[in-house]
Each structure stands twice: as structure tokens, then as C-alpha cells.
């Protein structure tokens, strides 16, 4: 994979950090009064960077038109968008509203439930622990959790072996997929601690032999998070903050939102008959856990998700310091056995690989309407946060990705 030293220097990173500190420019789908308020937080530096990188105002308008279309067609009331090109934010703004009731603009610093975009954070943390020698990708789960010895495949008897750590993060550990969990066929403990929930899993059994079937689920990530707690001697949320979030400067990201932060989270909606209806996130089975869920309960902003992807784009460096080795991160972009057409790695969907089989375009989405994509070829990061279920917003997201791909003159910019 070719290096991109022209924007991975310490000086370049400082420019990116400085630009990420700017305020957003909400656009489209809001009242005249809201438009006046939005003008006061226009991100002038990102506006200038867009032109300096050789793009035109018309190209930027193409992307903004796609955002506006999502509002006009009632796919989303609003959201926040971040595009980083060659290490520098060039489009960074909120659009629409965070609340249809108050007409509050959706700002760039709005803390959002990022759902499964939490998974790349977890896999990055596990990669760091692997690098430190505290565990191995091919360790069996029962090395750390003896209760998994003899775990059964439901209705078939004992499994031939326990899952491996890498299988926990590639959805091939044999746990049931999300539909089976949502239907209640597997009773997942959501009270108490992460340790309590994981301790309850062996009795529930597996749905398939480890390493044989891909089934998208958060259970493997919960088990991986519990293993991380055991080998590091710290509660998962605190461990994530200390090892990853604080070092990359993700100050807004948290598993423990204060009341003040909760009040700033944009209203969650779902679409029914072409209209928006308020959605209680806690009512969704996969989001109901009371403890920090390594699979999907992180609250973050577009800037802080961007910081995670910048860590990957900079090959594990932050401000010139090597936080994690490039080869440790590269393991996350390797397509894993049994994932089939999903081409899942460890915490990332691997959309494209080079001749060596190394992932050069990876991403993850979240059920709450979140999206994070990293393109090593084009030196491009794309982060979109909304709070409407992604299953209901696919046409909007596809249109936006198409506009981005056209602007960056390559279908590989993320059009599929």
C-alpha cells in the first residue's frame, strides 16, 4: 500500500487538528431564522480548504444538493457531514435540524449515538492489546473465559471448539445474528455489567459452529470487550477512554453521557408512512444495554469519528507519535474466512483490496443512521451522522455517496 507522507507529517496533522476545532455551517431544510443563525457558524476554513484542494463551488453544491434532497424527501430531518481530503477537513458542516419540534439546527458538534460505528473503535482497541502481547487474534475464548468450555450449538450438542478472538470481531464466532436476537429467540442480558451479560451467554448457546458462518451480531464484540477488561484490568469504558479516545483527542466521545450531553443529542426519529415519528433508542433491543456496549453504545461527533479514521489513515500515528503499529491496524482490513460476500475484516467492511490483499477502502455503518468510510487510495475520509435508522435512509445515503464519488472523479470514492 503506497504511503501518503505529504499529509501524514506532524505539521499536517496539526493543521488537521486545528481545522477540526472549527464550528460548522448548517445548511438546507431550516427556516429563515434558522438560516440567519446558521450563517454565524459557517466554517470558513473548510470552505477555503475545499477550493485550495482544487475543487469548485459547483462540486460542493452537488454534495449539498444531495443533503437537501434527503431533507426534502423526508429521509432525514438533518445530520452532520465531515469530509477529510489529504489530511485536511474540506467539507465540515451540519445540515437541517436536530429537532423537528424546536427547529434547533443540527450542528457539527452534535453528540450522536453512533451505533455500530462503535465497532471499529473496539477492533482498534483490541489491535492495540494484541500488539502489547496481552492476547492474540487466534486465542480461544475459553483461555480467558472458562465458562465457554463446552459451549453448545443450540439443538446440536457441544461445539467442536470455542470461538477465536478474531472470530468475535468478524461475526463468525457462531453467535446468532441480529434478527434472531431482536426476535427474542436468544435472551441477552442487558442489565448489570458487561461481565454479567457475557457470563450469561454460554447458557444461551451458539447458533452455528465457530468459524463456519457469518452472522452479523454484537455478541462477539461484547465478549471481546470483556476479554479486554480481563487482560487490561480495567472496565471497558474506562479502558477505551484511556487507551484510544484520549490519545487521539476524541474528547466528546463517551459511553457515559452527562445529563447536559444527553440534552444535546439530536432527537431520534423513525419514518412511518413518509413522516417522522420520535423513536426511543432504548426501545431497540440492540441498544438497550445499561452498560457500555463494545458493539454499539458509543456517543460521538463527526470530528471524533474522523479522528479515529485519521489514526488509521496516518498508519497509527497521532501528532507524530506512534500510538499503534501500522501492521497491527492492517490486520483489521484483512477479509476474514467465512465472511463471504460481506467481505468483513475485524471491525470494518473491506470494500476493496490491492494486489497484496490489503484493504484500501473500508467502512462501517450504524443502525442509527451513521456512516464512516476510509479510502486509502484517494486519501479520503467520509463521516455522516444522522439519527434515523439506516434501513430507512438507504436511498438518501446512496444518493449522497454517488455525489461524493462524482466529485472525487472515481466510483471508488464510495458509490456502492
**Could you tell me which of 70, 165, 54 has the C-alpha nearest to residue 396?**
70
- Assign 256 to helix, strand or coil: coil
pLDDT computed for residue 39 by the predictor: 35
Please give the Cα distance from 399 to 52 (Å, whole number).
25
Adjacent-strand bridge partners of 182: none
Phi, psi of 373 (to 5 degrees): -135, 140
pLDDT computed for residue 239 by the predictor: 98
pLDDT computed for residue 184 by the predictor: 84
Please give the model's pTM, rounded to 2 decimal places. 0.89
Please give the Cα distance from 240 to 125 (Å, whole number).
7
Phi, psi of 242 (to 5 degrees): -70, -45
pLDDT computed for residue 19 by the predictor: 37
pLDDT computed for residue 283 by the predictor: 66
pLDDT computed for residue 37 by the predictor: 36
Per-residue pLDDT of the chain (416 residues; tens, 9 = 90+): 333 333 343 334 443 333 333 333 232 333 444 443 343 345 889 999 999 999 999 999 999 999 999 999 999 999 999 999 999 999 999 999 999 999 999 999 999 999 999 999 999 999 999 999 999 999 999 999 999 999 999 999 999 999 999 999 999 999 999 888 888 888 888 899 999 999 999 999 999 999 999 999 999 999 999 999 999 999 999 999 999 999 999 999 999 999 999 999 999 999 999 899 999 876 665 555 889 999 999 999 999 999 999 999 999 999 999 999 999 999 999 999 999 999 999 999 999 999 998 999 999 999 999 999 999 999 999 999 999 999 999 999 999 999 999 999 743 333 32
Please give the Cα distance from 275 to 281 (Å, whole number).
18
- C-alpha cell of residue 352: 476493496
Phi, psi of 162 (to 5 degrees): -85, 160
Task: Mark 89-113 as b/e (b = at least 16 C-beta within 10 Å).
Answer: bbbbbbbbbbeeeeebbbbbbbbbb
- DSSP 8-state assignment for residue 69: H
Amino acid at each position: 500500500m503506497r504511503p501518503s507522507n505529504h499529509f501524514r507529517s506532524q505539521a499536517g496533522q496539526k493543521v488537521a487538528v486545528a481545522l477540526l476545532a472549527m464550528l460548522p455551517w448548517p445548511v438546507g431544510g431550516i427556516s429563515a431564522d434558522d438560516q440567519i443563525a446558521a450563517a454565524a457558524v459557517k466554517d470558513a476554513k473548510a470552505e477555503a480548504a475545499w477550493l485550495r484542494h482544487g475543487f469548485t463551488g459547483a462540486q460542493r453544491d452537488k454534495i449539498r444538493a444531495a443533503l437537501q434532497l434527503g431533507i426534502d424527501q423526508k429521509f432525514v430531518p438533518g445530520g452532520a457531514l465531515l469530509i477529510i481530503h489529504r489530511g485536511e477537513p474540506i467539507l465540515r458542516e451540519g445540515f437541517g435540524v436536530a429537532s423537528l419540534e424546536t427547529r434547533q439546527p443540527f450542528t457539527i458538534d452534535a453528540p450522536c449515538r453512533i451505533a455500530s460505528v462503535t465497532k471499529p473503535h473496539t477492533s482498534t482497541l483490541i489491535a492495540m492489546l494484541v500488539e502489547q502481547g496481552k492476547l492474540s487474534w487466534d486465542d480461544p475464548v475459553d483461555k480467558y473465559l472458562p465458562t465457554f468450555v463446552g459451549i453448545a450449538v443450540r439443538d446440536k450438542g457441544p461445539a467442536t471448539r470455542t470461538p477465536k478472538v478474531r472470530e468475535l470481531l468478524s461475526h463468525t464466532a457462531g453467535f446468532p445474528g441480529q434478527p434472531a436476537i431482536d426476535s427474542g429467540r436468544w435472551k441477552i442480558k442487558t442489565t448489570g455489567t458487561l461481565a454479567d451479560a457475557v457470563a450469561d451467554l454460554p447458557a444461551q448457546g451458539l447458533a452455528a459452529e465457530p468459524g463456519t458462518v457469518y452472522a452479523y451480531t454484537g455478541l462477539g464484540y461484547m465478549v471481546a470487550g470483556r476479554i479486554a477488561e480481563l487482560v487490561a484490568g480495567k472496565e471497558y469504558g474506562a479502558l477505551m477512554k484511556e487507551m484510544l479516545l484520549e490519545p487521539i483527542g476524541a474528547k466528546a466521545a463517551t459511553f457515559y453521557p452527562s445529563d447536559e450531553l444527553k440534552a444535546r443529542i439530536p432527537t431520534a426519529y423513525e419514518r412511518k408512512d413518509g413522516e417522522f415519528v420520535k423513536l426511543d433508542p432504548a426501545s431497540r433491543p440492540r441498544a438497550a444495554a445499561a452498560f457500555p456496549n463494545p458493539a454499539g453504545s458509543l456517543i460521538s461527533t463527526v470530528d471524533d469519528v474522523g479522528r479515529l479514521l485519521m489514526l488509521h489513515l496516518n498508519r497509527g500515528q497521532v501528532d507524530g507519535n506512534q500510538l499503534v503499529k501500522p501492521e497491527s491496524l492492517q490486520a483489521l482490513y484483512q477479509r476474514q474466512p467465512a465472511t463471504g460476500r460481506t467481505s468483513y475484516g475485524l471491525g470494518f467492511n473491506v470494500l476493496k483490496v490491492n494486489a497484496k490483499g490489503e484493504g484500501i477502502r473500508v467502512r462501517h455503518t450504524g443502525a442509527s443512521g451513521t456512516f464512516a468510510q476510509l479510502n486509502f487510495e484517494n486519501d479520503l475520509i467520509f463521516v455522516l451522522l444522522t439519527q434515523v435508522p439506516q434501513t430507512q435512509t438507504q436511498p438518501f445515503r446512496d444518493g449522497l455517496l454517488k455525489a461524493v464519488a462524482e466529485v472525487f472523479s472515481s466510483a471508488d470514492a464510495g458509490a456502492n
